[in-house]
Amino acid sequence: MLDKDVIISECTRAKGQLKSCNILLTEFIDKLHDPVVALDDEQKVVAINRAYRQQVKLPTKKIVGQPYWDIFPKKKDCLREKEFQIDDKDYYRVCSVDVPTKQNRTYSVHILENINDRVAIEKELEHRVASDRLVSEIALTFAMLQFSHLDEGIQYAVERIGKFAQVDRSYLWVFSEGVRKIEYVYEWHIAKSQAQKEKVLNYDLRDLPWFRRVIAKIDTIYVPDIKKLPDEARSERKLWSSLNIKSLLQIPLFIESKPFGIIGFDQISKAKDWDAEDVALLRVIGQLLSEAWSHKLFTKSKKRAANDLEDSLAQSIQAIAAAIEHTDPYTFTHQQRVGKLASALAAELGYAPAQVKGIELAALIHDVGHIKLPSEIMSRPGPISNKEFELIKRHPNIGYEIIKNIKSPWPLAEVVLQHHERINGSGYPLGLAGEDICHEAKIVAVADVVSAMTSHRPFRPAMTMDDALVELQNNSGVLYDVAVVNACGKIVRENGFGFDV
């Protein structure tokens, strides 16, 4: 048996070690940068660390024993959530653990991590993605609009960007020749504000010398506070104040280096510090509106009436391609490559210049259906599942629906629908075979696979052009048209064809 004195000595030593451990644990928790609070089973505070005290700015004696929602966070039961927000401002992530006691009570310890920085980054990314989608949507709208509906398209774009940016008013002013007056006004405003269209339409801009000088220098008119405009802008201050404007942001627009208008945002309810995202959005949409207005002027010109349809269509195709570039840069580059090869193949096969142009335009948007597929699938750097592949196989149908109503002398929609069909009927989405596949689609199909095989992807290296040609030849007459495969071999090996990108 152990001596009584030995037992007492060991117990005393163990208590000392336990006390030292408790002190070390307390000091460790106290040095944590995140607030830590321990609660009893009645949700009253029993212990806190230094970060918690600093957060609530109260001494420990005024915190311990109080319900936590009377101290911090002032939101009942929020500690049961994984993440929460307080007073529409700070975001916290909660890490909690329950600690049962010998008295059959359960205490809980909660670490509150401030995640404002993470949430801010997530919101910024979400905003950028939403902004890119908005730009693509507006670009696609203009691409598909007939000339007679262009004014409606401009009004739609002005309204969409105003609502997206959450401003009080958004607008496009179009100037007369020489920036002498405001000739056209497209405007959207919130319900609480008044329209400015009637007040500014036909306004003599020669009464705004500062405004005209800034426009001429291609400068952004950035005014967080109208009252702080320089003295030389007193005429502008008078006009904008009469419109109840507190802040404004205006981007000058140009056609062939000549100012034709401005796109802008106004704040009426309260002043606003415009940020880089506001400026970037206006610049991109302004460019689309410039192209749309240029198209409007061009369409009105009698000198180009004969070529109106083809040129308008080419602009539409380029706009659709540009919309894809914002959401899927790889697809944009791929389509440019396919367009280059498809037009070279068509020329080699003896197609007329107008037909070659049509095949090139079809190739430039053959994958337009990608724009409505989930971006997380299209941009994934690794293999995809069978279910996801079945979803991707819908893109020819989606693309066909997008462009089927575009009037064209060329079978654009048919090429988009059929570019994955194969000679032996093994393709998709319709399983067409042989002569049931249009000739233009057969050309784009070969250009498509050559571009794909010779492009580097995160999940596989690029093939050499020679290897790609061997793969084509092995499937000539089976998957791909014999004449197109032979033409491809000739322009590569004899004519030195190659991709620039």
**CA 177 vs CA 182, 217, 260, 265, 287: distances in Å:** 10, 17, 8, 23, 19
pLDDT at 442: 96
CA distance 417 to 430: 9
Among 259, 267, 262, which residue's Cα sits nearest to residue 243? Answer: 267
Q: Spell out where 45-163 has E strands.
A: 45-48, 83-86, 90-100, 106-114
Neighbours of 490 (CB within 10 A): 13
Among 134, 128, 142, 133, which residue's Cα sits nearest to residue 289? Answer: 142
What is the arrangement of strands in the sheet containing 83-86, beginning at the earlier edge strand? 45-48, 36-39, 106-114, 90-100, 83-86
Token pair in block for residue 384: 């995809």
pLDDT at 306: 42
- Could you write out the DSSP letters of every residue in 339-394? HHHHHHHHHHTT--HHHHHHHHHHHHTTTGGGGGS-HHHHT-SS---HHHHHHHTT
Among 376, 365, 323, 283, which residue's Cα sits nearest to residue 135? Answer: 323
Chain segment 440-485, per-residue pLDDT in tens: 999 999 999 999 999 887 667 888 999 999 999 999 999 999 999 9
Chain segment 252-267, per-residue pLDDT in tens: 988 888 888 999 899 9
Neighbours of 336 (CB within 10 A): 17
Token pair in block for residue 491: 């322009």
Interior angle at CA 350, CA 344 and CA 351, nearest 5: 80
Per-residue pLDDT of the chain (501 residues; tens, 9 = 90+): 446 555 555 556 555 544 444 454 466 677 888 898 888 888 898 888 888 888 888 888 888 888 988 888 888 778 877 888 877 788 889 888 888 877 778 888 888 888 888 888 888 888 888 888 888 888 888 877 777 788 888 899 999 999 998 899 999 999 988 889 999 889 999 988 888 888 888 999 999 999 998 888 878 888 899 988 888 999 999 999 888 899 999 999 888 888 889 998 999 888 888 888 888 888 888 888 888 888 777 666 544 554 556 666 667 777 777 767 667 788 888 989 999 999 999 999 999 988 999 999 999 989 888 888 887 777 677 777 888 888 888 999 999 998 888 878 889 999 999 999 999 999 999 999 999 999 999 999 999 999 999 988 766 788 899 999 999 999 999 999 999 999 999 999 998 888 876
pLDDT at 4: 53
pLDDT at 439: 95
pLDDT at 279: 86
Contact by Cβ (8 Å): 371, 324: yes
**CA 188 vs CA 143, 198, 225, 249, 276: distances in Å:** 22, 13, 21, 15, 22
pLDDT at 9: 56
Contact by Cβ (8 Å): 183, 174: yes
Token pair in block for residue 455: 């492009």
SS (H, E, C) 220-268: CEEECCHHHCCHHHHHHHHHHHHCCCCEEEEEEEEECCEEEEEEEEEEC
pLDDT at 299: 64
